[in-house]
A and B are shown apart, each in its own frame.
Chain A
Amino acid sequence: MEGNILDAARFIGAGLAMIGAAGAGVGIGLSVQGALGGMARNPDAYGNLLTNMILGIAFSEAIAIYCMVIAFLMLFKVV
């Protein structure tokens, strides 16, 4: 066993930061579920629902991206 304990803490911290991506996954799943339910009930609204669904997905995805930015901040020793 050798190495720097700060490096170890950095990797563990990056891994812990990515836990937040689970929330984004749930959010994306819920928005797709809602949009698909809407499309199944009302196929005419397909295009409108798809656009808004992608917008909503991009918002949820941004949360995971924030987590990833924090993880990379730790990995690349920026702070």
Chain B
Amino acid sequence: METEKRRPWRRWVVLVLMIMGFVVGEYYFVPVQPGITFSAEKLIEQPLVTLPVIGPFYLVNTIPPLIFTVLLVIVIAFYTNRSMLKSARSDLVPRGIGNLMEAFFELIYNMTEGATGMKLAPVIFPWFATIMFYALFANLLKLLPGFEAIGILRPVAGGHPIQPLGIFANLLPGQAPNGYTLVPFLRGVSIDLNFTVALALISVFMTQVVGVQTQGFGYFSKFINVRTMFKVPFFGAMDFLVGLLEIVSELSKIISFAFRLFGNMFAGLVLVAIISSLLGKISILPSMIMLFELFVGVIQAFIFGILTMIFMAQATQGHGHEEEHEEVHEI
């Protein structure tokens, strides 16, 4: 029997879309380099609510994608739960999204178990998985079309001229005396230091909590180390200073966590903006950068999670080697 030859028609669709992108970018909607801002911009100038101690709360353009991210995670959790319950009732064979999530979480659970041991894995795994999953969706959601592209036009000095299209308008390249700039409705969640600092604070604070859970309050002797002060005065003082350095290293963890994620995502934003305004007519190149952003987003979410896991695993291991030294001395 002769098998029918597969006709790969989808690649022609891609080619047609590429040519259309070229034509549109060349003649109709010439790409404009967007105004790159370091922090999220306010969509409404007035604060939404003013809290008594904390201060005003503005609707910035990272809030809508944050809500989308949370809703997406909740929806995935709901359907995973339903799928797992269904398979538990019928024949214990997970199917669909339940199967996918089971494979994914089993992979990272085994990784946690390998790093922390059988006993501590249930304590540390939820933090690792939650932070990783949340950061993963926050990073990936910014690759959707519409992010950084659709928004409100604000008049600004040295802005771009506009071309009105009904109630909408389109930015044109170049400068105009009374020009406009774009404030997008949607901006990637992780391109906001508030988000990354919040995640970093959660991660570092819960590291201390896990340390206290496993070692009791002896955990804090890592920071204020007076155990060996009186036995061996010189090295005891050294240990005390090293303990103070541990405090600094905990604080610097927050900064490095926050700026690693923020910096990588912000670099992606700048790279896509600059490449597409320089080479916008060759519309395949920005999409290659987007592909790279996909890779970077997954890797950075994974690194955020795995570093949390490694720091927690370190916090559960006490100052073992010093006690061994003492034993040797006593013997």
Contacts and interface: CB of A to CB of B under 8 A. Distances in A.
Given A54-B299, A59-B303, A65 B38 contact: no
Contact of A78 (B39, B264, B267, B270): B39
Contacts of A72: 36, 38, 266, 270
B86 interface: no
A71 B41 CA distance: 20
B303 A58 contact: yes
Contacts of A78: 38-39
A59 B270 CA distance: 20
A55 B306 contact: yes
Interface string B297-319: 00110010010000000000000
B21 interface: no
B260 interface: yes
Interface in B237-265: 256, 259-260, 262-264
Given A55-B303, A69-B259, A62 B270 contact: no
Interface in A34-52: none
Interface residues of B, number: 17
A25 to B, nearest CB: 15
A73 interface: yes
Contacts of B256: 62
Interface string B265-303: 011001000000000000000000000000000011001
Contacts of B260: 62, 65-66
Interface in A11-50: none
A27 B273 CA distance: 28
**Which of A59, A61, A78 is most buried by chain B, counting CB atoms within 10 A of its CB?**
A61
Contacts of B39: 78
B37 interface: yes
Contacts of B37: 76
B264 A65 contact: yes
A62 B303 CA distance: 11
Nearest to A69: B263
Contact of A58 (B36, B267, B300): B300
B264 A62 contact: yes
Interface string B25-43: 0000000000011110000
A62 B257 CA distance: 10
A68 B300 CA distance: 16
A39 B270 CA distance: 35
Nearest to B262: A69
Contacts of B306: 55
Contact of A73 (B38, B267, B300, B303): B38
A73 B300 CA distance: 21
A73 B263 CA distance: 11
Interface of A: 54-55, 58-59, 61-62, 65-66, 68-69, 72-73, 76, 78
6 contacts: A65-B263, A66-B263, A69-B266, A72-B266, A73-B38, A76-B38
